[in-house]
Amino acid sequence: MMAVLINLTKNQTITPNLEVARGLIDRGMGLMGRKKFGPDQGLWLTSGNSIHTHFMYFAIDCVFVDENLKVQHLVEEKKPWGIIWPVWKASSVFELPAGTIRKFGIQKGDQLHVGN
């Protein structure tokens, strides 16, 4: 399922091509094995507060949010073969192309929204 990720706080569309990973297999696979990740793409892991970047070929930005999609923690340019340990208060994470956090000025406390 594709969706749109919007930062309501800043009234910005972050990505018009957000892939939503709800199932266990989709969440488990995440971006592993993908050779590229376009600048207008994103992946929302709808459940979980930690990730790994094993078997990935590129760095990503990670935006951890609570159950209301309020930003709780940001990780910029996480390189392959790393781990981000559980983030307190986070219930899901958006994986975005490296540089997205800086490009859109995403900050802790911003209110995000996922729409069609």
Q: With a cut of 70, say whether residue 73 has pLDDT above it.
A: yes
Around Cβ 95, how many Cβ atoms within 10 Å? 24
Average pLDDT over residues 63-78: 98
Instruction: Return the pLDDT at 53.
Output: 87
Note the pLDDT tens digit of each residue in 3-34. 999 999 999 999 999 999 866 556 555 665 66
Instruction: Return the pLDDT at 85.
Output: 95
Contact 93, 45 (CB under 8 A): yes
* 2-115: CATH class: mainly beta
Average pLDDT, the chain: 90
Domain-wise residue ranges, the chain: 2-115
Instruction: Return the pLDDT at 55.
Output: 82
Contact 37, 61 (CB under 8 A): no
CB-neighbour burial class of residue 98 (10 A; exposed 0-12, middle 13-18, buried 19+):
middle
